[in-house]
């Protein structure tokens, strides 16, 4: 650790920057040790230097440099821990996991890497992170079970309806999280024939009504539903509030279904989940 600290200090004085890779390579070469053995001492040296204000991480270049007045200062670990948890569970784009350095980057440099490291080790490790992980995995398991029950013809009607609502609510929440803004949810269309009609999403920005379905084969049952919603909304307003309608699905429908829907010329959009992202297909 002392050799790593000295080398980083020398590089900062001579070149203005230092890197993780160069420091590890220098340590392995000068001490004649395996590269794997350099990870811990270099990490400890970097954490110590940043904690004392001797260096800072540059997010743009991913190098170490001298600290500047505009760099983040030491923050309360409880605050940093809350910010880490607020990032949510790592997505498919993250590879399903997030290292401490990736967490630091995901926080956009609002906190020092040293504080993120300490918060995760001293405040979250063995407690909140594990509890949060268990909560996420439990939720995933419950959704998978709901999907299995919904596909089972022996499931009761009441249970199937409950599972359907749960899966659709999760699908809507996942989709909304990718938009960058919040449209109107559970939009009340009106009361027709003693039944309250409610659309899952009314997106005023895009003048679009979206109806979610719990299964991929829910495309055609939803087409008449969303067009009825558009007609009733525009009729009640006596002007055009909705230009297009969309069906939101948990997976990609078959090409035959897409081609068939497109041939109907219904001004229909189909949105489906693809991992952590959503594909939005406009059918003409």
End-to-end CA distance of the chain: 64
For residue range 118-151, what is the model confidence (pLDDT) as tens digits? 888 887 776 555 555 445 545 556 667 777 787 8
| Residue count (the chain) | 284
Q: Which residues contact 161 (CB under 8 A, 6 or more apart)?
A: none
Q: Give 84-90 contacts, CB < 8 A, sequence gap 24+.
A: 84/116, 84/119, 84/120, 84/124, 85/124, 85/128, 85/129, 85/132, 89/132, 89/133, 89/136
Burial 28-63 (b: 16+ CB within 10 A, else e): beeeeeeeeebeebbbebbbbbbbeebbbbeeeeeb
For residue range 210-245, what is the model confidence (pLDDT) as tens digits? 999 988 887 888 888 888 888 898 888 888 888 889
């Amino acid at each position: 650790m002392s050799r790593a600290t000295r080398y980083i200090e020398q590089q900062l004085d001579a070149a203005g920057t230092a890197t993780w890779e160069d420091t590890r390579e220098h340590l392995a070469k000068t001490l004649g040790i395996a590269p794997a053995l350099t990870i811990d001492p270099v990490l400890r040296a970097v954490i110590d230097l940043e904690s004392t204000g001797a260096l800072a991480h540059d997010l743009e270049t991913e190098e170490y440099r001298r600290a500047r007045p505009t760099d983040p200062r030491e923050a309360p670990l409880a605050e940093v821990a809350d910010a880490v948890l607020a990032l949510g569970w790592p997505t498919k784009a993250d590879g399903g996991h997030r290292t401490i350095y990736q967490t630091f980057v995901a926080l956009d440099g609002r906190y020092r890497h040293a504080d993120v490291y300490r918060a995760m080790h001293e405040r979250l490790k063995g407690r909140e992170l594990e509890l949060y992980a268990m909560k996420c995995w439990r939720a995933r398991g419950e959704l998978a079970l709901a999907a299995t029950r919904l596909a089972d013809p022996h499931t009761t009607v009441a249970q199937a309806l409950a599972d359907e609502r749960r899966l659709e609510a999760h699908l809507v929440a996942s989709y909304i999280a990718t938009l960058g803004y919040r449209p109107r949810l559970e939009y009340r269309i009106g009361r027709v024939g003693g039944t309250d009609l409610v659309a899952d999403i009314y997106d005023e920005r895009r003048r679009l009504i979206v109806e979610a379905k719990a299964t991929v084969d829910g495309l055609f049952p939803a087409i008449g539903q969303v067009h009825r919603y558009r007609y009733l909304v525009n009729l009640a307003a006596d002007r055009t509030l909705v230009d297009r309608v969309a069906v939101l699905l948990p997976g990609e429908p078959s090409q035959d279904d897409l081609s068939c829907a497109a041939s109907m010329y219904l001004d229909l959009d189909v949105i489906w989940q693809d991992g952590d992202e959503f594909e939005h297909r406009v059918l003409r």
